[in-house]
Amino acid sequence: MAWVAFPAYGGLGAVMAAGQAPLGWWWVTIAALAVLFCLLPLQATPRNWSWRLWAAGTGYFAASLFWIVEPFFIEPERHGWMAPFALVLMAGGMALFWAAAGWLAAWAGHGRGRLVALVAALVALELGRGWIFTGFPWAMLGHVLVGTPLMQLAAWGGAGALSLLVLVVALLPALGQTGLQRAGGLLAGLALVAGLWVWGGGESDLPPAQNHVIRLAQPNAPQAEKWQGDNPQRFFNRLLDQTAAPASPAPALIVWPETAVPFFLEHAGDGLAMMAEATHAHGPETLLGFGVQRYEDGRYFNSLAVLDITAQVTQIYDKHHLVPFGEYVPLSEFLLGSGMAGFAAQVLQGYSPGPGPALLDMGPLGHALPLICYESIFPRHLRGTDRPDWVLQITNDAWFGEMTGPFQHLAQARLRAVEQGLPVLRAANTGVSAVIDARGGIVAQLGLGETGFLDAPLPTALPATLYARVGDVPVWVALLAVLGAMVALRLRSGARPA
């Protein structure tokens, strides 16, 4: 592949990213993918396809994951120089999945059959990157459909089904050999989108919301200011004021975001009593859920605790899926020994993982599945317990900046709601805090950078979706059938790529 083609393919990949939040131009993503399919030389070697797909993937992930540089600018004088290296390594690394899909498709397929194989391989490897090296299923192609009626397809096949839809619609025009055939493929794609759009738009019947009200508090503490000087106390007082603010009807639960309090749970001082007093303003049954750091046996945890009005912590959930190098050092216990893991976690400002998904008993509100920040991007974490009544996410998206990251994180929370048929309530430090119904619709929200709280009734869950019951199995069966058929045909014919 000539080096001059790299910028062209990389630029095309960057255009594909326009479908991701906050722009949400899903049609641009599909159009750019269609152009990519038409540009791929059908007789080129697998290695040639691999390089072309790597270039396109690098452009796509660089534009989609640009927010990855934001944490390095919390203290730019110390870490700012790392930002471009982090973006290049992340984009190039994620693009390796596209490169692998290109190689496999060119090896297994023949002629335009290569494009069919490429669609199956891309979706398979998108699903695979949700698991490899602890997983990072961010910026999947199907995420561009969040916010449209088409996202209701996720109730049947998850994000993989959405990615498959995006790629199939882009593929149809590219399968034609003449202008007329490509026009026919375009019309077929438009008809498919229109039909599913009407179907998804009709999937709007929801049971009425419950009578119980939940309050989501958003202190709006910028990460660069959160722990500076007197700010921890100032933001804590802000949360207390938001908690005690009058409401009618009184909230049954008040939720603070991730790492909301300026103390460790074991050394709260008067903090828990102050929180209970603010909560008591709404009556004896109101609970307070809050993000807090805690330690136990030399280990540090990023946790969500539930407090009653007597200042007693009644339940604790410890985040179990941590961000590699962001929240812990991989293999620290193996390298340093279990006796040193806590020390390493402290020095490196990391955490130990909790035991896994668990439900919180919220009394009349039913059972909530807690997720802390990053955990919400993994569909499997919503299927690791008995079925909950709703999902509670606390997060600190101040790390993600203000351009794209927080909006993409919100989009994935909406997708989890559709996949499971469960309402999702998310309390975010700087936003976007939101109440999301069981079809992914935003019932109420506090925008990015807003300070305040919102009260909303708890939406009602729908019956368990197909995806909630069987996960990605139907999509995997379809993908493996296509790829298996392609490989079988190749082996039978003994064909070798040019």
Long-range contacts of 4-8 (CB under 8 A, 24+ apart): 5/52, 5/55, 6/55
**Phi and psi at residue 393, to the nearest 5°:** -115, 130
**Phi and psi at residue 193, to the nearest 5°:** -65, -45
Catalytic residue chosen out of the listed positions 70, 126, 258, 419: 258
Q: What letter represents residue 303's amino acid?
A: S
Strand order through the sheet with 313-318: 313-318, 299-307, 287-296, 253-255, 213-218, 452-457
Torsion sign over Cα 140, 146, 150, 154: positive
Q: What is the dihedral of CA 491, 495, 497, 498, to 10 degrees?
A: 170
Q: What angle do CA 21, 27, 30 make, to 5 degrees?
A: 100
**Contacting residues for 378 by C-beta, under 8 A, at least 6 apart:** 130, 135, 137, 321
User: How far is residue 54's CA from residue 383's CA, in Å, rounded to a whole number?
Assistant: 33
Catalytic residue chosen out of the listed positions 319, 327, 375, 419: 319
Alpha helix ranges (H) inside 176-230: 179-202, 223-226
Closest by CA to 249, choosing from 291, 207, 285, 219, is 285
With contact defined as beta carbons under 8 Å apart, do 459 and 206 qualify? yes
Q: Are β-strands 253-255 and 287-296 bridged in parallel, bridged antiparallel, or unpaired?
A: parallel
Q: Is the peptide bond before 459 cis (omega within 30 degrees of 0)?
A: no
Annotated catalytic, 38?
no
Annotated catalytic, 373?
yes
Catalytic residue chosen out of the listed positions 70, 373, 375, 419: 373
| Residues classed as catalytic | 258, 319, 373
